[in-house]
Amino acid sequence: MTTPASDAVALFEQLTGSTPAGVWSAPGRVNLIGEHTDYNDGFVLPFAIPHRTYAAVGTRDDGRIRVASTFTHDAVEVSLNELQTLFPTPTGSEPAVEEWAAYPLGVAWALQLAGATGTGVDIAIASDVPVGAGLSSSAAIEGATASALNDLWNAGLDRTALARIGRRSENEAVGAPTGIMDQMASMLGEADSAIFLDCRSLDANLVSVGVAEAGLAILVMDTRVKHAHSTGGYGERRAACERGAAIMGVPSLRDVSVDDLARAEGLMDDVTFRRVRHVVTENQRVLDTVQTLRENGARSIGDLLVASHASMRDDFEISVPELDTAVETALANGAIGARMTGGGFGGAAIALIEQSAVQDVTDAVTAAFAEKGFAAPNIFTVTPADGARRDS
């Protein structure tokens, strides 16, 4: 049976006729709670998932970098010297290379800007992280590539620094104005734990999720509605948050508390206020979720997940009918809590359910999608998994 790891090695061998110097991998992530809070200097609680992206990488002595992947036909090859002329991608433009290749090449570019240099490389990528599902397939590519180049170029950067390299690639090479949650989750993940991350200080603390011990499971319901964060809605939401913070006279919405909301409402238009209210209440929900998990366990966080979804649907307006259907159907079939996860406008929702209910909830959500004429969802369970690593 082939695996993404063996696929990456096979692709490398096909590309170069030799064996790779090593294989590095990084996972996708699910966010338990804390959405659109990362770029507001707020709090998030994601965990790495078992789905991973593998990069089989070898050096070459002609100063060129080539990236190939099993999900595209053509490899993209440029000289390492050329990278500084290819990136950054001007705001609003398409990257100078095919979008998928901008992720790994952008990582090499960002590493150069951080002072790292080294020989040319061939990079062959394979992955089982669903693409466009809101599960951070992009952060997984960045994490695997950054880990490989960090080792091969002896850059000596720590995990947080590599997460920043990944975000820089995503923001400035790909042109998606995202925060740092996905890259931090992919770099810092650990089995059985979620990462409670303060996105202002980048302080990260592991929080035991304890789902299995409680007899529970986390179901991912990928709606198959593809989202893209380099276009439209995501950037508009981010701009609304910046507007709200400016009106409140603070550097970011992290500095606005739930008690300030009454005052905020009088100062801004209704749409901006609702965007602000989502972020401010979501930050509080992350803090409450961490405390509840620590004191009472996973069974007690359901209401917080449900409130988070309602806030994204009604105040932040980033849900879609498929996500609402997944969440509502899971809840109607006994889920303890459910919410969309990730940037929104498509992608996946999660549900916290009894282990014994996995099949029933899967069937119910699948039937509800069919009834509404939606494409069939892709539904599977996940457990918190390890972050980026060298595999061989």
Interface residues with ligand GLA (CB under 6 A) are: 31, 35-36, 38-39, 178-179, 181-182, 229, 342-343
SS (H, E, C) 148-188: HHHHHCCCCCCHHHHHHHHHHHHHHHHCCCCCCHHHHHHHH
Cα 261–264–269 angle (5° rounding)? 125
Q: Is 182 a catalytic residue?
A: yes
Q: For residue 78, what are the β-bridge partners?
A: 65
Q: Could you tell me the smallest distance in angstroms from the CB atom of residue 50 to ligand GLA?
A: 18
Residue among 36 and 52 whose Cβ is closer to ligand GLA = 36
Q: Could you tell me the smallest distance in angstroms from the CB atom of residue 230 to ligand GLA?
A: 10
Dist CA 125 CA 84 (whole Å): 23
Q: Could you tell me the smallest distance in angstroms from the CB atom of residue 136 to ligand GLA?
A: 6
From the list 182, 222, 303, 386, the catalytic residue is 182
Dist CA 27 CA 5 (whole Å): 12
Residue among 95 and 342 whose Cβ is closer to ligand GLA = 342
End-to-end distance of the chain based on CA atoms, in angstroms? 19
Residue among 178 and 283 whose Cβ is closer to ligand GLA = 178
Would you say 278 and 315 are in contact if contact means Cβ atoms under 8 Å apart?
yes
Residue among 189 and 343 whose Cβ is closer to ligand GLA = 343
Other beta carbons less than 10 A from residue 306's beta carbon: 18
Q: Could you tell me the smallest distance in angstroms from the CB atom of residue 82 to ligand GLA?
A: 27
Residue among 118 and 342 whose Cβ is closer to ligand GLA = 342
Residue among 20 and 189 whose Cβ is closer to ligand GLA = 189
Dist CA 122 CA 65 (whole Å): 6
User: Which tokens hold the place of 41?
Assistant: 């200097």
Q: Which 3 state secondary structure label does DSSP give 51? A: strand
Dist CA 270 CA 104 (whole Å): 40
* Whole-number Cα distances in Å, 359 to 347, 354, 366: 21, 10, 10
Name every residue whose Cβ is closer than 8 Å to that of residue 15 and which is 6 or more positions away in sequence.
66, 68, 75, 122, 124
Q: Which 3 state secondary structure label does DSSP give 312? A: helix
| Residues annotated catalytic, as ranges | 182
